[in-house]
Amino acid sequence: MAEFVFGPPLLLAPHATIRTLSEAMAYVRGCITVRRPHIRAGVLRALSAVSGDDQQRLAAKGSRLWVETEDFICR
């Protein structure tokens, strides 16, 4: 199974570019102070449990929604 690749990559604060689910997981883990820690925990669980293409897409969508909600997307 090939790892999901964000297209286009996510440009996040501070100065991070996320291209893969592995990079997304590392970024989410590094975000200690967030407004919605319970959602962060769910995103981490989803990223950790990925085992198929459908789960990869769902985890990618969830992580993208979470970084948008936390206002980490650079515009």
pLDDT of residue 13: 85
Low-confidence residues in the chain, pLDDT < 50: none
| 57 to 5, 32, 54: CA distances (angstroms) | 9, 24, 5
- Beta-carbon contacts of residue 14 (< 8 Å; ≥ 6 apart): none
Give the predicted TM-score (pTM) of the model: 0.87
pLDDT of residue 3: 85
pLDDT of residue 1: 67
